[in-house]
């Protein structure tokens, strides 16, 4: 008698999952996820990329234009080889640092030509344009010296004092300012003030030529008299029998 085939074992109770062969199960790869994300957000990502690209191009274009502009200003300044051209350049580029340099050159020319009052005005313009630049102190000094030459001592003195007392300025600037003040003190025969300024110069820069010249000027005045000693109290004299 033929033995009947044994029936297939039933799956365990509660396990009703549909088992699929490993070879046919879908696998979600990283590339699939990227593709899905791109499909859903393509327009947004494209817009962001275009915006960033436009921002980069805009900044690059601005930097290029700025560079070209600065190059153009520099070339125009280099071509200003006469007083008239310097005046035209300064007017055309008002506020630009090179316009201040042009004004400074014009001020120097006016001073050397003996036009001290004109030079003082040009130095003032240069100082205003070069505000914050190291050359601003040069312009301020030039203006004060030009004012002295023009007989405007009252106007020049405060400017010189401000430069001499400003510890943020270069030693050479401070020393020159103090020297001019010492010269004024010597002219006024004020030995005490002259000595005070010489002492200040020695503190600023003892080896400066301005200090040496100020000391020579100070030597032309009489020595400052020493303060008189306070009179000693008269000793009490006792008479005999008192």
Q: Domain limits of the chain?
A: 32-79, 80-151, 156-221
Residue-wise pLDDT for 85-138, tens only, equals 889 988 998 888 888 899 999 999 999 999 999 999 999 999 999 988 888 999
pLDDT band at 62 (very low <50, low <70, confident <90, very high): very low
Residue-wise pLDDT for 176-211, tens only, equals 999 999 999 999 999 999 999 999 999 999 999 999
Q: What is the mean pLDDT of the chain?
A: 77
What is the residue-wise DSSP string for the chain?
-PPPPPPPPPPPTT-------GGGS----HHHHHHHHHHHHHHHHHHHHHHHHHHHHHHHHHHHHHHHHHHHHHHHHHH--SHHHHHHHHHHTTTSHHHHHHHHHHHHHHHHTT-HHHHHHHHHHHHHHTTTSTHHHHHHHHHHHHHHHTT-HHHHHHHHHHHHH-TTS-HHHHHHHHHHHHHHHHHTT-HHHHHHHHHHHHHHHTT-HHHHHHHHHHHTSPPPPPPPPPPPPPPPPPPTT-
The tokens describing 13, both together, are 């109770």
Collapsing DSSP to helix, strand or coil, 169 comes out as coil
Distance of CA 199 to the CA centre of its chain: 31
Q: At what angle do helices 171-187 and 191-205 cross, to 10 degrees?
A: 170
Q: Could you give the CA distance from residue 215 to residue 132 in angstroms, rounded to a whole number? A: 33
Residue 78: per-residue pLDDT: 85
Cβ atoms of 124 and 103 closer than 8 Å: no
Task: With a cut of 60, say whether residue 3 has pLDDT above it.
Answer: no
Task: With a cut of 80, say whether residue 53 has pLDDT above it.
Answer: no
Residue 211: per-residue pLDDT: 95
DSSP letter at 24?
Answer: G
Three-state secondary structure string covering 127-159: HHHCCCCCHHHHHHHHHHHHHHHCCCHHHHHHH
Cβ atoms of 153 and 147 closer than 8 Å: yes
Residue 39: per-residue pLDDT: 62
């Amino acid at each position: 008698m033929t033995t009947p085939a044994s029936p297939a074992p039933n799956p365990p109770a509660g396990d009703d999952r549909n088992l699929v062969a490993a070879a046919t199960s879908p696998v979600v790869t990283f590339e699939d996820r990227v593709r899905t994300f791109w499909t859903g957000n393509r327009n947004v990502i494209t817009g962001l990329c275009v915006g960033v690209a436009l921002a980069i191009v805009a900044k690059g274009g601005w930097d290029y234009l700025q560079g070209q502009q600065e190059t153009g200003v520099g070339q125009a300044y280099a071509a200003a080889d006469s007083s008239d051209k310097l005046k035209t350049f300064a007017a055309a580029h008002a506020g630009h640092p090179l316009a201040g340099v042009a004004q400074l050159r014009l001020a120097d020319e006016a001073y050397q030509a003996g036009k001290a009052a004109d030079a003082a005005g040009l130095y003032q313009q240069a100082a205003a344009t070069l505000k914050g630049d190291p050359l601003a102190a040069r312009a301020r000094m030039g203006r004060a010296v030009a004012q002295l030459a023009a007989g405007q001592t009252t106007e020049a003195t405060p400017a010189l004092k401000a430069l001499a007392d400003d510890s943020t300025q270069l030693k050479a600037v401070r020393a020159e300012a103090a020297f001019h003040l010492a010269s004024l003190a010597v002219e006024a025969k004020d030995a005490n003030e002259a000595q005070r300024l010489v002492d200040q110069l020695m503190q600023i820069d003892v080896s400066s030529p301005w200090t040496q010249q100020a000391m020579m000027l100070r030597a032309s005045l009489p020595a400052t008299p020493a303060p008189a000693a306070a009179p000693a109290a008269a000793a009490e004299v006792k008479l005999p029998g008192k």
